[in-house]
Every structure is written in structure tokens, then in C-alpha cells.
Structure 1
Amino acid sequence: MSQRHDTAVVATIAGVAVDTRHWIGGRRVASPATFPDTSPIDGSPLTEVARGGAHEAAAAVTAAQAAFPSWSATSREERARILHAIADGVENRIEELAAVETADNGALLRSHRRGVMPRVAHNFRFFADWLLSLAHEDFETRGHTNRISWDPAGVCALITPWNAPLMLATWKVAPALAAGNTVVLKPAEWSPLTASLLADIAAEAGLPSGVLNVVQGYGEEVGSALVSDPRVARISFTGSVPTARHIAGAAAANLVPVSLELGGKSPLLVFADSDLDLAVELAVEQYDNAGQVCLAGTRLLVESSVAEEFTQRFIVKAAALQQGDPRDEATDIGPNIHPDHFARIDGFVQRALATGARAVIGGGPNTELGGLYYRPTLLTDVAPDTEIVTEEVFGPVLTLQTFDTDEEAVALANGTRFGLAATVVTGDSERARRITEQLVAGTVWVNCFFVRDLQAPFGGARQSGIGREGGTWSFDFYCDVKNTVTAPKGWQHHG
């Protein structure tokens, strides 16, 4: 529930006080309207959140623009120090952040505690350290010296998704701040609460007022106003293709560079020479976060000669998964995020079943749990060009198709409009090399899954996105990269 404390609207979420107003220019700002935030765990109302619009978007950009000259002139060492202080603040509040985010988006509490929130802190530490080492070796051109530098770009509009709210927000916020930019963060309306806590943590760490601003609300209201503002220098968005098209159009009007990560329909290829136990383990792992993972290999492509054995082992492994309350340590799969999204998932499955697909496991909601709990589902007898194998479901729904040759495997893998990731399971290193070279994907894993290093480039091909972030790629995006060419020593100016 929400209550007023000293003029601030504060919600108590899992025992943690969360201010539900915007954070603009170093202070809390209310809006005339609010929107409801509901927990996917049991459908209970969590709080009402300030609902921003064009006015709040403009105010946040104004605050960020005012803070930019000072922050961009701040030394690399001081910026890095403050980012490390933010990481310290995150680590000091891991339990609180984990509890609030689980209540807000329904992901596993144990995952938030052990992996996600520590990664949030690491995001800040990594980019702070990378900033201090960021350099390009000087080189000569006919005796002239070329020196490469990275100049802060300005105000960055960052729009983030609901499936890993704080981790994916800081994946953008940390490099943008490290680069010397100021930020307006717009979190997803289905999971806005930890972004508010991040604002508190950043302020406590000494981040100057206006350098980080958080505005909440609906995309068509505050989001559209934010990306259309001509004062914005960079836009980074993670989410759906339709929304990305709108953002790209707004950015094009002002010639603003964009970074877009738009999800995918990634393949997981299992060859007959693979370790089937490993293959099954990796396949079942695709149900992580109730299938709400952009990188998930939701299309299982299995060589025909081992398909039956693989399927039987998969059924056994998947049956061991525990579905239930994400706050329970024993739970493996929690709820999906929102009733609208839940209905979308079931719509995909029911249309597939109606057109001839067969549910090996699952195939509908978990009626024993009720609410937003969808049973882990594996569909077979699906044609290559049908909706269920070409469109992103973003739920605990996998499909299984078979192939007989390497060429057929590659054709199936590349047979969608997406190209975010791919996983290859094989015991033949030469085959792995040959297959991975042909896959259209920003990231390919061989005999592993979800191993990510922040210094590696991340992004997608085709309609999975535009651009790459990570390591120096992040600074290339969040900065204006400059080349300064200096004549040889001893030159003289002749008027």
C-alpha cells in the first residue's frame, strides 16, 4: 500500500520503503496522475506510481542538460570513483533490491540475490574500470600523429524492459554515466520500482543532481515525448520491434543515434554427436525466468537420429522443475509478468495447437496455481513457417523441429526475421566452427549458454536490433569519437 511520509509518497514493498515519484534534477517530483503497479506473484496491488508525460519528460531533459557541462568535465578518475560508490550502495542493499524486484516482476528471489543484483553492481564497476583504461594507440600518417578520444555526447534517453529491470537498466546507465553523459531513465511501467531505488543509491553515492533522472509512466506518453526531444543526444532501447520502429522514427527526425535490442527467436541446435545430457540441460534452461529472456533458445533443432531420445530425456528433466512462488528457494519457474502478457503467451500456444502442433508437455496455464503461472510447454509437429516458430512468444514455450543434414540445420536456424543469439551443441569442434560461421546471430554459444562478459560486443542482427554495446563498443555509442591529427614537431605557422 502507499502512504504519505513528510510530503513524499512512499510504498512499502516487501518491507522496503520505495518512493513512487519521479527523480528529476536531484529531487522527488510528483505527477497529477498515477498508474497501478501490481505483483505478478498473486495479483495483489503493490502501489500507485507517478505517471509522467510530456511535462515530466521535458523537465528531466532540462535537468540532464543543465548537469551535463559539469559532469562531462569531471575527470575520468572522479567519475569512476562515483560509479564504484554506486556499486557499493547496490551491494549494501542487495537483499532489499532483490525483494522489491521479485515482488514487482515475479522473477526468482534466489536468482536476484545470487546473480542479478551482484551483476548490477558489477555493471558499474566494470564500466568504471574500463573508462580508466579506455585508449587507442596513437598512429602516424606521413609524419602526422593521430590521437583518438571519446567525447561525452550529451543527454541520453534510456528506455528499459520489465524482464530484468535493474540489471538491464544499469547495463545502459553505467556506460552512459562513465562516458560523461547525463541520463534520463524511463523504466518499464510493469516493473518500475527498483529504478526508483537506484536513484536513491546514486544520490547517496554522490552523483551530482541532474546527472541521473528517472521518469515513470507509459511509453506512449512519457516515452514518446522523451525520444522526440531534440535535446537528446543518444537513445538506447530494449523491447519490442513495433516500439523500436516508433523510437527509430522519432530519432530519425532529429538524427539521433540509437541502440536497439529487440529480442529474438533464437535456435538451439543439437547434433547427434553431442553430449545429450548436456544438450537436455541447456534446453531445459531455456525456461529460465518463466521464458522471459530475450536470448532464450526457444527453437530446439535436433538431429533426427537422436530426436526421440532427446525428447524423452527432456520430458524427465522438465518434469523435475518446480513451479510456484518465486520467493520460495525451491521454485524454479515463477509467474509471467502481467495478465496481458499471459494472455498473449496462451494465445500463441492455443493457435499453434489449433493448427496441428502437439504439446509434449504443458500446453496451457497451470490451473493448480492459477493466476499468471503458465506450464512449461514443448510443442512438436510445427511447420517452419508457422507463427509459433517465427514470432517471439517470450514465455515458457519451446518448439522442437528435426533436421537430417548440417545444411538443413543452418537453414532452419536462420529461418526467422530475428538474429539475436544461437546455441550449438556438438562434440565435433570442426562442425562447431563450420556451423557457427553460417549462423545469423549477435552471440553464439557452443556447448554452453548465457555466458556473458561485459567486454564482449552484445546486440542482434536483422530485426533483433541495431548496434553493439559492451566494452569499448559502449563508449563508441555513448560518445562522439574524435580523431585529432597533429603535424610533425618543428612546424611553424606562416601568416
Structure 2
Amino acid sequence: MTEHTLTVAGVAVDTRHWIGGRRVASTETFTDVSPIDGGTIGEISRGTAPEAAAAVAAAKAAFPAWAATSRAERARILHAIADGVEKRIEELSIVETTDNGALLRSHRRGVMPRVAHNFRFFADWLLQLEHEDFETRGHTNHVSWDPAGPSVLITPWNAPLMLATWKVAPALAAGNTVVLKPAEWSPLTASLLADIAAEAGLPAGVLNVVQGYGSEIGDALTSHPDVRRISFTGSVPTARRIAESAAANLTPLSLELGGKSPLLVFADADLDLAVDLAVEQYDNAGQVCLAATRFLVEESVAEEFTRRFVEKASTLTQGDPRHETTDIGPNIHPRQLEKIDAFVQRALAAGARAVIGGHRKDTQYYAPTLLTDVAQDSEIVQEEVFGPVLTLQTFSTEDEAVRLANDTRFGLAATLATGDPERAERVTAQLVAGTVWVNCFFVRDLQAPFGGSRHSGVGREGGTWSFDFYCDVKNTVTAPNGWKNHG
């Protein structure tokens, strides 16, 4: 081991940046802390403007050759990266659980296999990407997707590697080169991804990984004139800052932001199913942007729904995420825990009632919470908490349910529980959301469009929508009989 290598649960992780196919250290570092026990994992290279400039320069230098690489070869390398991920699922899982506190069993069974699938899906989609030629007054129109150039990808801490590769895979498949900036609270698996990509044969400079604070290296990346695409997942305030940085260069943006999504439960719903969907919102300690944190329940079944919810929620086990029996782990950071508790205490002071929870369990864990007696215009209903905190309101008519569901500045997702297919069709047509689930939750297909409305984001990614963003889409129009003088 070297001074720049950590051993995390027996796995060696390099703490330096990955720029131009080699490891680069910074003179300054930041401390990475495990949310499991608050202990220090290690010191991570803290990049600033020079590292940002070096990473973009490396991506720019590597771009022509990678853009000219055949689709088949790009796809082959992405499949090789997926192979590398699958070989290291156990290592990636334990490192990410240590780093961000999400359940180890979820990483092993779902999250890390999805990381590999991200690469395989976009590799395969690339090979079938086409638009049928069409005619205009005898002229032939041919649509193509040209690689755009160096892309900056800024990713969050709640599902670090899965959400990073949701962006990295299509960007690379499109023929772009990448500078990945992971969240400073969970940087470790991005470093391992750099190793895996290099071992898979990805050319130097095609993927670069830089670590640090958004206010230091992030601003330097998003304002760089050589960057051709920026994709960001995170908070609305940070998105505004990124948009301001990108504006000077008119750099296209894809922004997947926060949510305050509703779960609408009608009296004709299967209540057991509705309760299962409701309790599922505590997944990842509530740190899921898509979570349906606002329960809107028809008055006639609200009491019974609440009783069943409390009964089922009481069976959840909160504790060490490395244990197989744990259902809810810690929140990511003491600062996040303080933010969650502040939301709850202000709500209680304003008259809300905690049916369950309403307090922190210790310095790392927040008790699963359900608040009632909350006003529609209250902070707890209107603002994203990003913790295991849910609210419950009632409605009496379908129109009222839709009005309450749409009455926030967000529009990321919505979930609907009903036994009436005609009602489902009526209601979903009126909901403002990028994704709507009916009698299910978190069913995601990579070929579907993903993104939010209103303050929940700008743009859509997934399937062809990802290539539309990461590429310059070109239409070539050819005249008929234009080759008379050809040899």
C-alpha cells in the first residue's frame, strides 16, 4: 500500500484523481467519513481549478480518437467494463456501504448489478440506434447522432456508483469523453470505477475522475469553455449555480433535481398494497429523490391506512447497514441529520403530530417518521427533506387529490394506488410528474425517459433520449439524382 491508498473493509482504494490515464494527487485533501459510525475513512485528494483544467484538457485531447472509434468497438469496451464491475460486485458493495451507509444487501443484489447493466444497456442501445430515413419532395433525410465532446458529470451521494454510471455509460457510448465529479461525501467507488475502466481497455483520457468540493472544482468544471455537455443530479440551489456557470458558454444541461412526490391512495385501492408502497418510501433512509414522501389518502380509509402503516413500519429494523436483517441504515452525514431534524422540529412546533418517530435516534440515525396535521402550505409539505420523514394528508374528492398532488414547485414523480383503471387513467393524465407509478413503485426501465418537471429538473435521459442529449443530432438532406457527374 502507498500513502495514497486506503484499505476499506479489505479493499484497496486509491485516493487520488484519475486524469489522462494516470493517478494525480492534490496538495490538499478532504476527510471522508463513514455514516455507519462517524469514523474517518481517510483523506481524499481535494481538487481545485488546476485539476479541473487538467481533466478537461485530457478529455479534450482524447475526444477525437474516441469519437472516431466505431460503435462496435465502443460497445465492446463498455461490455468489458460491465464484466469488470460484475467481477468486483462484493468489493464495490462493501466499499459503497462503508462510504454512504446504504444497505449492503441492496448493493449486492440490486445496486451493483444495475451498475453493470447500465453499461450493457447503453452499449447495446448504441448498436441499434437509428432513425428511419424519410423523404421530403424526393429528397432523403438521414438522422445521425454525432459525439458532442467532453462532458462533465456531477453525481450525488445517495446512490453514488449507480447514478454515476447512469450518466457515464451513455456519455461514453455516444462517443463523448467524460470528467466525473462524485459527491465529496461518497467518492470511493468512483475511484474504483476508474481502475475498472482502465483494466477494460478504455483509452487514457476518455474517463477522468476528479474529487473535491462543488464550490472549488465543480465551478471550475461547469464554467470551462471546452466542456460540451453538463449532466447534474442534486439540489435545486446547486443546479442554479451550475446553470449560471454554463450560461456563458451556452453549454447544454441535463438536470435531475429534487422531489416532493405524492402517494395518492383512493378508497378503492388494495390497502395492503398501498401500505406496502408507503412503507417502501423509507428505503435508503429516505434518501431517494423519487420517494413519495407526501401521502394523500381518501378520508374514508385514512384511519385504517394509518393503522396498517404504523403496524408494518414498526417491523422495520434500523441499524448497521452491513447486517443482513437491517431495513433502514444511517443518514449520510451529521449535517444531513441535523437538517432532517430541523425540518421535523419546526413542523412539530407549527402544530404537526408525529404518529411515529419525530426524533433522531443518535448521531447517525433518524427514526422513521410520519407526520399528520400538516398544512398544505407548510414547509414540511412543500420542501424536500431527504430523510425518513413522511407526511399524511386526506382528501375527499378526486379533484382535491389531484390539486394537492400538484401543489408544490416540484414534479419528479407520483405514485397512485387505486382499483379503478378508469380513475387511474384520469388522474395520471392530470399529474405533473416525469414518472407516474400505478399500483407499483420504483419500476425503472433504462429505455424509458427519466427526468422531472418544474423545479425537479430540465431534460430527459434514458434510451434514445440520452443519446439526444449527449450527441449533436444531425439531419442530412440529399437531393435526388445528385450524382450525375460522379466518376
Note the aligned Cα RMSD (angstroms): 0.9
Q: Could you tell me which residue of structure 2 aligns to residue 433 of structure 1?
A: 425
1:289 partner letter: N
Partner Cα separation in structure 2 for residue 163 and residue 374 of structure 1: 16
Q: Contact between 2:154 and 2:183, CA under 8 Å: does it hold in 1?
A: yes
Query: What's 2:391 paired with?
Result: 399
Measured in 2, the distance between the counterparts of 1:244 and 1:352 equals 27
State how 1:38-117 maps to structure 2 within 5 Å. 38-117=33-112
Q: 1:409 aligns with which of 401, 406, 419?
A: 401
Question: Matches of 1:166 and 1:100 in 2, distance apart?
Answer: 11
Give the corresponding residue for 1:448: 440
* Cα shift readout 1:182-208 (whole Å, capped 9, x = no counterpart): 000000000000000000000000000
Q: For 1:311 and 1:160, how far apart are their aligned partners in 2?
A: 36
| Counterpart code for 1:448 | C
- Give CA-to-partner distance per residue, 1:357-415, whole Å, 9 cap, x none: 0000000011xxx2210000000000000000000000000000000000000000000
Alignment correspondent of 1:279:
274
Which one-letter code corresponds to 1:391 in the other structure?
A: E
Partner of 1:203 in structure 2? 198
Matches within 5 A, 1:284-323: 284-323=279-318
- Using the TM superposition, give the Cα deviation of residue 489 of structure 1 relative to its aligned residue in structure 2, in angstroms: 2.8
Q: 1:357 to 1:148 in 2, by over 3 A?
A: same
Query: Which residue is 1:219 aligned to?
Result: 214
Cross-structure match for 2:173: 178
8 Å Cα contact 2:63-2:149 kept in structure 1: yes
Report the residue type matching 2:445 in the other structure. Answer: D
SS at match of 1:277: helix
1:35 aligned partner, one-letter code: F
TM-score by length of structure 1 reads 0.97
**Which of 338, 361, 383 lines up with 2:375 in the alignment?**
383
**TM superposition shift of 1:493:** 6.4
Q: Which amino acid aligns with 1:421?
A: A
Structure 2: any 5+ residue segments left out of the alignment? none
State the SS of the aligned residue for 1:49.
Answer: strand
CA–CA distance in 2 between the matches of 1:176 and 1:27? 21
Per-residue CA distance 1:27-62 (angstroms, 9 max, x = gap) = 000000000000000011001000000000000000
- SS of match in other structure, 2:228: strand
Which letter maps to 1:371? Answer: T
Letter in 2 for 1:383: A
- Look up the equivalent residue of 1:347 and give its one-letter code: A
Aligned with residue 246 of structure 1, among 241, 245, 262 = 241
User: Hey, what's the Cα distance between the residues in 2 that align with 1:143 and 1:492?
Assistant: 16
| Correspondence for 2:343 among 348, 369, 384 | 348
Secondary structure of the corresponding residue to residue 418 of structure 1 = coil
Indicate yes or no: 2:144 matched with 1:156.
Answer: no
Q: Secondary structure at the match of 1:473?
A: helix
Contact 2:141 2:478 in 1 (8 A): yes
Structure 1, gaps ≥5 residues long: none
2:364 to 372, 381, 389: 372
1:133 & 1:14 partners in 2: Cα distance?
41
Whether 2:116 is the aligned partner of 1:124: answer no
For 1:213, what is the secondary structure of its paired residue? strand
Distance in 2 (CA, whole Å) between partners of 1:371 and 1:108 is 18
2:13 pairs with 1:18: yes
**Partners in 1 of 2:88 and 2:164 — Cα distance?**
17
Match of 1:269 among 260, 264, 267: 264
Output the CA distance in 2 between the equivalents of 1:151 and 1:14. Answer: 43
Question: Which secondary structure does the structure 1 equivalent of 2:327 belong to?
Answer: coil
Looking at structure 2, the residues matched to 412 and 48 of structure 1 have their Cα atoms a distance apart, in angstroms, of 46
Percentage of identical aligned residues: 80
3-state SS, counterpart of residue 254 of structure 1 = coil
Q: How many residues are matched?
A: 486
Could you tell me which amino acid in structure 2 is paired with residue 273 of structure 1? D
Shift of the 491–75 alpha-carbon distance from structure 1 to 2, 3 Å rule, reads: closer
Question: Is 1:169 matched up with 2:164?
Answer: yes
1:336 corresponds to 2:328: no
How far the C-alpha of 1:492 sits from its partner, in A, is 4.1
